[in-house]
Amino acid sequence: MKAFLLYKDQDFDFGAELPPNHKDLIQDLEMGNVLESMALGDKFLFEVSTKVALASLRDPEAILYRQRILVDCIAEPEIVREMYAIAVGALEDKRGIWAYSSQIPSSILSGAVNQLEAAVVRLKQLRRIADDHAERFHSAGLTTLFRTLQRELDDEYFRTISFHLKQLRFRDGQLISAQLDRDNSGIDFVLRSSDRGKRGWKERLGMVPRSSYSFTIAPRDDAGANALSDLTSRGVNLVANAAAQSADHIWSYFIMLRGELGFYVSCLNLWDRLVAKGETVSYPEPRSWPQRVMSFTGLRDMSLALRSERQVVGNDVDASGQSLVIITGANSGGKSTFLRSVGLAQLMTQCGMFVTADAYRASVFDGVFTHFIREEDASMTSGRLDEELSRMSTIADEIRPHCLMLFNESFAATNEREGSEIGRQVVSALLDAEITVFFVTHQFDFADGFHRQRADSTLFLRAERRSEGQASYKLAVAEPLPTSFGEDIYYQLGGWLDSDSDRPAALSATTSASEERLAHGLDAR
């Protein structure tokens, strides 16, 4: 029996390692907010959400399989949450029962029988839900699940289980077969299910060789009694193994069910949170290669939307057919937010979730990679450029054709001429390897180089400022300009670097915090 709620025909591998760049993705795309809104403080759900969100699907059909289940879940949230509660409850029951730490097979056996009895109760609960609610679901994933429960857990089967659980409590002696080991002691002990070895009358009259001999342990022979119970224990070794493995199999069914349902329960949590914020979401349209599609309207950074008080304004971009998108323009003009919104939406698309956009249509990438400028790196032993290039090298170990690579102010830790040259070499190599690249930069030399050489396959976006000098965070399709707007912003913020006393407290926090303020037009004044 399988849950098969995350894949049509396979289990989700919760034991798999997260992708090597998961820390970068979570940090750079500020996924923490989204994952917390999914988990609502539940450690297990946080783990499940993280694993599923980062294990991107590569097949549009597989994505749609999850999307349809998610639609069902959002329509019937109580039933889904109840099933999840049963799986969680079953595993709590298990924890309450003595575990098989013993090295004595007869103890293992009685522990396993207790566990099987507990598991049967939970299985019956699942069957009842299937009986009561199956017709309210329409997705392939959930209808199959309910049908499986009804077929595999019929009444006849519950009767068979209960017969064996009684048998396994046997106390009226066991028949154990054995062979001779290398030192002629017993080996390969096997518990046998019936006794056909009765002595016949011919044997009793001495007409055929005797087929049975007996002895009895003296009542005070404690060592002998121990040896005997040891022998019994060896005899039930295989049966204890069978029972314990059976219990484990049932638990692993519940474990899988808890994990896979856990993902949808997390999605329900996130949905509730977004609805409460007045955010609208949509289900993205995944496209398979070789179509190079990346087109959206009203795309908002979900992470920002979750922590922001105000409605976030979205971007409309059609980069379909382009292999490189270069974003230039005013500092704090929403460039980084835009880059994050693309990365986050792409990851959520590829794990089967909804996105905060009016519409989102994109190719399914083989992986999403981020290389963001890191300003806080205090532990560096080598120089900053060294660190940046070392991170780039790590990415190069993993990245393949048909991946999406997001750069944010990369290779700016040196002078512009050198930084541009390194950037040009890196990006050219990625493009020639059929990798799609988004690059936020203020290095005009770099951006202009691609404008001159790869204009037809490159989309240039620019963060504009409004006429009164205030940053807008809607991006426009526009060529790079040789200047940035740092000076403007500086003065707009009141020249707070000139004197400490002028500095507004909120702006001494992180870049993203100040970006957010500007993004919402929250001027320091």
Q: Within positions 148 to 207, which residues make up the interface with another protein, using CB under 8 A?
A: 152, 160-161, 164, 168, 172-187, 190-197
Residue position matching structure tokens 């946080």 = 46
Please, what is the minimum distance in Å from the beta carbon of residue 110 to another protein? 13
Residue with Cβ nearer another protein (88 or 489)? 88
Judged by CB under 8 A, the residue of 59, 76, 93, 248 near another protein is 248
Q: Which is nearer to another protein, 54 or 119 (CB)?
A: 119
User: Applying CB under 8 A, which of residues 10, 27, 245, 508 lies at the interface with another protein?
Assistant: 245
Among positions 311-350, residues that touch another protein (CB under 8 A) are: none
Distance of closest approach, residue 222 Cβ to another protein, in angstroms: 11
Instruction: List the one residue out of 326, 514, 333, 334 whose CA is nearest residue 428.
Output: 326
216 binds another protein (CB under 8 A): yes
Closer by beta carbon to another protein, 105 or else 314: 105
Among 224, 280, 293, 313, binds another protein (CB under 8 A): 224
Residue 397 within binding range of another protein, rule CB under 8 A? yes
Binders of another protein among residues 373 to 392 (CB under 8 A) are 385-386, 389-390, 392
Tell me how far, at minimum, the Cβ of 170 lies from another protein, in Å: 9
Of residues 493-522, those binding another protein (CB under 8 A): none
Using the Cα atoms of residue 68, residue 69, residue 72 and residue 77 in order, give the sign of their dihedral. Answer: negative
Site size for another protein (CB under 8 A): 97
Q: How far is the CB of 247 from another protein (least distance, A)?
A: 8
Q: Residue 132 CB, nearest distance to another protein (Å)?
A: 22
Residue 30 CB, nearest distance to another protein (Å)? 26
CB distance 336 to 518 below 8 Å: no
Q: Give me the residues paired with residue 318 across strands.
A: 295
Piece in contact with another protein (CB under 8 A), picked from 77-85, 221-229, 264-272, 486-494 = 221-229
- Decide whether 181 or 523 has the Cβ nearer to another protein: 181
The token pair at 104 is 């004595």
Q: How far apart, in whole angstroms, are the C-alpha atoms of residue 62 and residue 466?
A: 43
Toward another protein, which CB reaches closer, 256 or 344? 256
Question: 46-105: which residues touch another protein (CB under 8 A)?
Answer: 100, 103-105
Nearer to another protein, 90 or 304 (CB): 90
CB of 223 to another protein, least distance (A): 7
Ranges within 115-134 binding another protein (CB under 8 A)? 116
**Residue among 200 and 486 whose Cβ is closer to another protein:** 200
Q: Which two tokens stand for residue 387?
A: 């660190």
Shortest Å, Cβ 316 to another protein: 32
- The Cα-based distances of 191 to 174, 233, 327, 362 in angstroms read 7, 10, 73, 60
Please, what sign has the CA dihedral across residues 152, 155, 156, 160?
Answer: positive
Cα(520)–Cα(301) distance, rounded to whole angstroms?
13
**What is d(CA 512, CA 525) in angstroms, rounded to the nearest whole number?**
18
Residue 423 CA: distances (Å) to CA of 284, 392, 410: 32, 11, 8
Binding to another protein in span 8-37, by CB under 8 A = 11
Whole-number Å distance between alpha carbons of 166 and 248: 19
Give least dist CB 214 to another protein, A. Answer: 5
Residue 209 or 278 having the CB closest to another protein: 209
Task: Report the residue from 140, 238, 313, 524 that binds another protein according to the rule CB under 8 A.
Answer: 238
- Show contacts with another protein in window 400-439 (CB under 8 A): 400-401, 422, 425-426, 428-430, 432-435
For another protein, the closer CB: 195 or 309: 195
Which secondary-structure segment (H or E) carries 371? Answer: strand 368-372
Contact (Cβ atoms closer than 8 angstroms) between residue 473 and residue 337:
yes
With contact defined as beta carbons under 8 Å apart, do 332 and 489 qualify? yes
CB of 409 to another protein, least distance (A): 17
* List 159, 169, 210, 452, residue binding another protein (CB under 8 A): 210
Half-sphere exposure of 335 (CA within 13 A, CB side): 30
Kindly give the interhelix angle for 416-432 and 444-453, rounded to the nearest 10 degrees: 40
Q: Can you tell me which of 51, 234, 277, 465 binds another protein, judged by CB under 8 A? A: 234
Nearest to 444 by CA among 489, 480, 406: 480
Q: Which two tokens stand for residue 499?
A: 């004197």
Strand partners, 361: 285, 295
Peptide bond into 20 cis (omega under 30): no
**What is the number of residues in the chain?**
525
Please say which residue, 248 or 316, places its beta carbon nearer to another protein.
Answer: 248
Sequence-distant (6+) residues with CB within 8 A of 480 are 326, 328, 444, 447, 448, 451, 460, 462
User: How many CA atoms lie within 13 Å of 151's alpha carbon, on the beta-carbon side?
Assistant: 8
**3-class secondary structure, 256:** helix
